[in-house]
Structure 1
């Protein structure tokens, strides 16, 4: 059989038995640039609402082990099919900590406190439904398939949110807690700005200063890991006693932002 005849036969078979288009769960899931995602969010919210789904917004990066692990789990065929039934999924690339805040603030979170950050959103009002569990999924690689299935497929997120809304926290105390979180998020954003070029160098330059990066990374990590816990503790205290002033935590200033002793002279 000639080469031309073979090619003709292959084309005929492809026309007769076309290869199915790759579905989302067959392809490699990737975090997409925030600049591309932001203009699509309104449409995706409307789509989720029309299909009676929740919005799942995950912010991560390719350099983050846990972010990669989350996508690997999400891509497993059985879980992927079940997730698609319940969620409209949005994957946002925070790059080297330069992006992501525009997405989180859209959903009542002043900043992400780790990667990956997995937000479950009510598309009808853009409310964040799983705030108490945000830090859990920054350790996504630590959870097995059963934990993923239990959390993402069985948790009644709307019920949790409704219970939170019924709490007896006064508006004044709620505002005080919001102010506290926004202040810490603003400080963390400054920390991210300082850390970002160090992280980029760490990931791409074999000659980068590892010691400086590790020191800054660990200090920022300690700070960001505490914010949600303190916010939840303040909410708990406000529910238990609405008459007493809240004891607002205070944090040390980032050491890498303090002026050097030589600069003070």
Structure 2
């Protein structure tokens, strides 16, 4: 997980306004299409998956996102497409400019979408998210080798009901409260970025300040996703030990508050 995030962080820090604009100007047909009711789309996908004894694959991404487009390209490979068609019911969700679609992620006990794309594999029968521990690799989907796509989705297709260990009651409320608080903060940060994204689309140029703020949010959401996994692991391994909740610095636009 950390390797993919590190690679992506280095690549992102090297972005220029021109490469950002080039990504946004893509005229290819998008798998990420705005919907009047994306939650209904996911629910219908869940029902189809259950009826066909398949896994539900929910991809939350956007056409402006290089990695979201890269994932779609890899999905179009004949071997990957065949594997997915046989074992998964796939639903693409367009998050647009970071729309608040937490109702979808929370439907499957995931606090938020921490990256574009976010790839969730759900057992349609139990309605449990089964790839929480390693889903973070898809935040750098374009850099993931094709063979890893095949390996990853074959593993989950072969084991659609991995062992499930719920959080201990004493710890569950603490973790849930932390997740909800940080989810609110992440959504606020996403919304702070939207005007800069829209301005870049209009002008073809990304301000230095906007790129800096984007990096701040990227670092936060990447760290947060790992911290949430760590809290789950700590709670399960030491249910009688008080959890120490992570704290995060203010964003530059928040000042010292």
Determine helix, strand or coil for the equivalent of 1:89.
strand
Output the TM-score relative to the length of structure 2. 0.82
| Residue 245 (1) aligns with residue 242 (2) | yes
Find the partner of 2:185 among 187, 190, 208: 187
CA distance in 2, matches of 1:122, 1:191: 31
In the other structure, the counterpart of 2:228 is: 231
Structure 1 range deviating more: 91-100 or 211-220: 91-100
Find the partner of 2:173 among 172, 175, 180: 175
Contact (CA 8 Å) 2:54, 2:87: kept in 1 or not? Answer: yes
The Cα offsets for residues 70-128 of structure 1, whole Å up to 9 and x where unpaired, read as 00011112211210110000001111112432322222222101110000112224321
In the other structure, the counterpart of 1:85 is: 86
CA distance in 2, matches of 1:135, 1:52: 26
Contact (CA 8 Å) 1:97, 1:193: kept in 2 or not? Answer: yes
Output the TM-score relative to the length of structure 1. 0.80
In the other structure, the counterpart of 2:125 is: 124
Contact (CA 8 Å) 1:54, 1:120: kept in 2 or not? Answer: yes
Count of paired positions: 229
Instruction: Report the alpha carbon displacement of residue 143 of structure 1 after superposing the two structures with TM.
Output: 1.2
- 1:146-185 map, 5 Å: 146-155=147-156, 156=158, 158-160=160-162, 162-165=163-166, 169-185=167-183
Determine helix, strand or coil for the equivalent of 2:59.
strand
In our comparison, the structure showing a higher alpha carbon Rg is 1
Instruction: Report the alpha carbon displacement of residue 158 of structure 1 after superposing the two structures with TM.
Output: 3.3
Q: Structure 1: 5+ residue runs without aligned partners?
A: 1-26, 261-265
CA distance in 2, matches of 1:99, 1:77: 33
Determine helix, strand or coil for the equivalent of 1:57.
strand
Contact (CA 8 Å) 1:29, 1:75: kept in 2 or not? Answer: no
Q: Structure 2: 5+ residue runs without aligned partners?
A: 1-27
Contact (CA 8 Å) 1:130, 1:157: kept in 2 or not? Answer: no
Contact (CA 8 Å) 2:170, 2:239: kept in 1 or not? Answer: no
Contact (CA 8 Å) 2:31, 2:92: kept in 1 or not? Answer: yes
| Residue 219 (1) aligns with residue 210 (2) | no
CA distance in 1, matches of 2:35, 2:131: 21
List structure 1 runs of 4+ shifted beyond 6 angstroms: none
Contact (CA 8 Å) 1:59, 1:94: kept in 2 or not? Answer: yes
Contact (CA 8 Å) 1:202, 1:213: kept in 2 or not? Answer: no
Contact (CA 8 Å) 2:165, 2:236: kept in 1 or not? Answer: no
CA distance in 2, matches of 1:214, 1:29: 25
CA distance 1:157–1:225, change in 2 (3 Å): farther
CA distance in 1, matches of 2:150, 2:134: 15
